[in-house]
Amino acid sequence: GIQVEQSPPDLILQEGANSTLRCNFSDSVNNLQWFHQNPWGQLINLFYIPSGTKQNGRLSATTVATERYSLLYISSSQTTDSGVYFCAVWAAGNKLTFGGGTRVLVKP
Amino acid sequence: DGGITQSPKYLFRKEGQNVTLSCEQNLNHDAMYWYRQDPGQGLRLIYYSQIVNDFQKGDIAEGYSVSREKKESFPLTVTSAQKNPTAFYLCASSPGGAGETQYFGPGTRLLVL
């Protein structure tokens, strides 16, 4: 099946810093989602982005499907951005495959 | 107030006991899903259902069972055959099936005593 790899596995940021998270996938995908899992475990939809670029406030995402990767940008990070960021892809078959996540800690 | 609810928030299971986790949605979504998350890991698919009275196994279905008698409900039973059930369980739904955005409930933490 498809493999989804996220990097870096862990990220420590000072409040106000910018960062980029990466998601690589091993095969063609139909769609891709980015999620934020808060410290209480809730998964929050960030982006549904099979290709192109989208922005939502301080967050933006770019997916280059032909090169099999997606990037999530966090600008002017805040402590509330802490948590785990997951990339998940739809490939052949009816299921969403998740990467291992990037754990982000934003220090005040 | 639309959304996905899961209950209970925490659940304790004794050895050899079956337990059932509840998942309800009022979003009128056709498809529903169950995932398992172990500490420090991503999510893995247990079962999914794209329509009432029909469901399919995911990657780690052994030791679990589900039913889909109503569109809004997709309960998951963790049976005694599941030897390592301690995990965080997340339910999700989507308007249709493959490729559509999934929305997640708050999760249930299951601990074996």
**Does the CB of A88 have a partner CB in chain B at under 8 Å?**
yes
Give the C-alpha separation, B95 to B32, whole Å.
9
Show the tokens assigned to A37. 């899992």
**Does the CB of A86 have a partner CB in chain B at under 8 Å?**
yes
Mean residue pLDDT of chain B comes to: 93
* pLDDT value for B99: 78
Alpha-carbon distance B79 to nearest alpha carbon in chain A (angstroms): 23
Show the tokens assigned to A18. 């910018």
Q: What's the average pLDDT block by block, 10 residues per block, for chain A (108 residues)?
A: 94 97 94 94 93 96 96 97 95 83 97
Give the C-alpha separation, A5 to A87, whole Å.
9
| Residues in B lying within 8 Å of A, measured between beta carbons | 33, 41-45, 48, 50, 56, 58-59, 88, 90, 97-104, 106-107, 109
Q: Is the separation of the CB atoms in A20 and A71 below 8 Å?
A: yes
Q: Is the separation of the CB atoms in A35 and A88 below 8 Å?
A: yes
Q: Which residues does chain B have with pLDDT short of 70?
A: 1-2
Measure the CA dihedral B92/B5/B73/B44, to 10°: 30
